[in-house]
Structure 1
Amino acid sequence: MTQKGRPNILLWTEDAVRSFKVLKDALTKAPVLIAPDFSRKFIVRTDASDTAVGAVLSQTLGGEEHAVTYLSQILLPRDQKYATIEKECLAIVWAIDSLRYYLSGTTFEIVTDHNPLTWLNQMQSKNQRLLRWCLALQPYNFIIKHRSGKQHGNADGLSRM
């Protein structure tokens, strides 16, 4: 229902509602959703669309990645006018700020599907907004990695309609 090229109108049939409830139940219970373990490294996966940002905080347990919490936020009209790189960076800054209680004092990994943001730790842009956000992230110890959009479904789904 949310694939590219589909209309922006979701048709909520009885079958769609039933499927949504099954999916929601599966994503919000063990073994998919786990309690945080502060002795393990956190992974923050972020994504932005034209209308919203999404993030998933997860940890690896037994060789598999499990969600700790899910976040999504509709963009304000002024934020919807940002360039793609700014929206993707906003998703990172917003997610880290929202998850600061989990992430402060730890080393964690940020995963984004926007490759240009992998240089975020060595920011040299003349874009004042990106520079300001880069400075806001200075207190945190993170490694940023790129993951192609097709493999980035969990955060991607939270930033879509």
Structure 2
Amino acid sequence: MVKELQQFMGMIQYMSSFIPKLSSHTDPLRKLLHKDAAWQSTETHQKSFGKIKSLMQKEMTLSYYDPNKATVLEVDSSLTGIGAALLQDGKPIAFASKSLTDTESRYAHIEREPLAAVFAPERFHTYIYGKAVLVQSDHKPLVNIQHKNLSKAPPRLQRMLLRIQPHNYTIQFKAGK
């Protein structure tokens, strides 16, 4: 069963740029693949599997990237993963998500959101390098964090701010659903 699940997860990963918030949907299944995990398929695993299958069947059309249009990165984080969407004119160009490591999952919410804001420009670097980009987040404190004096920020936040520095970005608050 483990081998089949690994193959399924590999196929899903191949299609990840077409599926928004994929890492949050695959979290229960990924936990079954941990080295010390006992194989026990529960209702949660079945729901996760069903949700992923329905997302795969759903038609998702991605647009072509136009370097002359304004580019927006929508970022978000959860307890188990971070995600981003590259948009132009409100249409998706690509999606990206990443499950959090055990250490990252213990970050405070105020640290997970900047992690998502760093992840997105790094993942979509080939699209946005040298271009002004608007990063939208549903975490209002993130707007002020971008202007924080680096020497007064906690060390973890300093490292995140240094990683995003090469990019020409502005962070904007966008209310979540």
Is 1:118 matched up with 2:143? yes
Q: Distance in 1 between matches of 2:142 and 2:91?
A: 24
Alignment-derived partner of residue 144 in structure 1: 171
Amino acid at match of 2:174: R
Report the secondary structure of 1:78's partner residue.
helix
Residue 133 of structure 1 is matched in structure 2 by 160
Q: Which moved more, 1:97-106 or 1:132-141?
A: 132-141
Deviation at 1:20, TM superposition (A): 3.1
Structure 2 stretches of 5 or more lacking a match?
A: 1-23, 25-42
- 2:77 is aligned with 1:52: no
More relative contact order in 1 or in 2 (CA 8 Å, sep 6+)? Answer: 1
The structural deviation recorded for 1:11 is 4.3
In the alignment, the residues of structure 2 paired with residue 98 and residue 71 of structure 1 have an alpha-carbon distance, to the nearest angstrom, of 7
How far has the Cα of 1:39 moved from its partner? 0.6
CA distance in 2, matches of 1:106, 1:142: 8
How far does the alpha carbon of each residue in 1:48-87 deviate from its partner, in whole angstroms, 9 at most, with x for none? 1011011000101xxxx10000001110001111110111
Give the aligned partner of residue 35 of structure 1: 64
Q: Secondary structure at the match of 1:145?
A: strand
Identity fraction in percent? 28
How far residue 12 of structure 1 moved from its aligned partner, in angstroms, is 4.0
SS at 1:94's partner residue?
A: helix
8 Å contact from structure 1 (residues 123, 131) kept in 2: no
Contact 1:104 1:140 in 2 (8 A): yes
User: TM-score, normalising length from structure 1?
Assistant: 0.74
> Which structure: greater strand fraction?
1
Higher helix share: 2
| Whole-angstrom distance in 1 between the partners of 2:81 and 2:52 | 22
Q: Is the 1:120–1:144 Cα contact (8 Å) retained in structure 2?
A: no
Structure 1: gaps spanning 5 or more residues = 3-7, 151-161
Is residue 129 of structure 2 the alignment partner of residue 104 of structure 1? Answer: yes
Q: Is 1:82 the counterpart of 2:107 in the alignment?
A: yes
> Against the structure 1 CA distance between its residues 80 and 142, is the aligned structure 2 distance closer, same or farther, given a 3 Å change threshold?
same
Aligned length: 134
Structure 1 residue 121: Cα displacement:
2.8
Partner of 1:153: none
The answer (yes or no) to whether the contact 1:123–1:134 under 8 Å persists in 2 is no
**Normalised TM-score (structure 2):** 0.68
Larger Rg: 2
C-alpha change, 1:88 and 1:17, in structure 2 (3 Å) is: closer
Alignment of 1:1-40 (within 5 A): 9=44, 11-12=46-47, 19-23=54-58, 26-27=59-60, 29=61, 33-40=62-69
